[in-house]
Amino acid sequence: MCGNIVLCGFMGCGKTTVGQVLAQKSGRSFLDLDQYIEQQQGKTVSQIFADDGEATFRRLENEAARELSRKDNLVIATGGGTVLKEENAALLRETGVIVLLNASLETLERRLDGVSNRPLLQRDDRQEFLRDLYARRIPLYRAAAQLCVEADGDPETVSEHILQKTELFFSKNS
C-alpha cells in the first residue's frame, strides 16, 4: 500500500496544477476532489452553489472525502474548504499525509485575478473578502496539515519539495 498525498490550501495555491505534476513524479494517480464531485453530480461546483447552496456542496465534499480516504496510491487535490472541517481532515489523514501549499497573499491575488469559477469570490468586495478569508483560514490549514511547503514557485519546484518531504514522512511513519 502506498499512502495518499493530500494537498490543501487556499484557492489558487496550485493544488490541482502541482498535484498533477506530483502524481507523475510519485507514481500515484491524481484525483481532484472538486472534479470528483462534479462528475458524480453532473454539474460544476458553481452550479451546485447556485442551485443547491453552499451547505449542500459541503455535504457532498464530506461524502467525497470519506470515499477518497478509503483509497490509496493517490495524490488528492482538495478544495479550499475541505480540510477546514476537522472531520474531513481526520478522514484524509487516516490513509495519507496532508500537505499545505503555502502561497503568499500576493501570489493568490495575482493567480485569482479575473477568475470566475470560484463561487465564493463572485462578489463586489472581492479583494477585501479574499484578504479577510485568507487571514482567517491560514491558521486552520496549518492546524490540519502535517507538512507545509512554500508554493509561490513553479509547479515543478513545488512538487519536488513535496516529494522530498512526504517520502521522509512516510519512511518515518510506516
With binding defined as CB under 6 A, does residue 80 bind ligand S3P? yes
With binding defined as CB under 6 A, does residue 14 bind ligand S3P? no
Residue ranges of E strands in the chain: 4-8, 29-32, 74-77, 96-102, 147-150
Please state the three-class secondary structure of 92-115 as a single string: HHHHEEEEEEECCHHHHHHHHCCC
Q: Residue 120 or 140: which CB sits closer to ligand S3P?
A: 120
In the complex, the smallest distance separating the C-beta of residue 38 from ligand S3P, rounded to whole angstroms, is: 10
Using CB under 6 A, which of the segments 63-71, 89-97, 102-110, 114-122 binds ligand S3P? Answer: 114-122
Distance (Å, whole) CA 158 – CA 155: 5
CA dist 14 → 56, 90, 101, 170 (Å)? 25, 22, 7, 23
Using CB under 6 A, which of the segments 64-72, 97-105, 117-125, 156-164 binds ligand S3P? Answer: 117-125
With binding defined as CB under 6 A, does residue 31 bind ligand S3P? no
With binding defined as CB under 6 A, does residue 18 bind ligand S3P? no
Secondary structure letter of residue 84 according to DSSP: G
Interacting residues toward ligand S3P by CB under 6 A = 11, 15, 34, 45, 79-81, 118-120
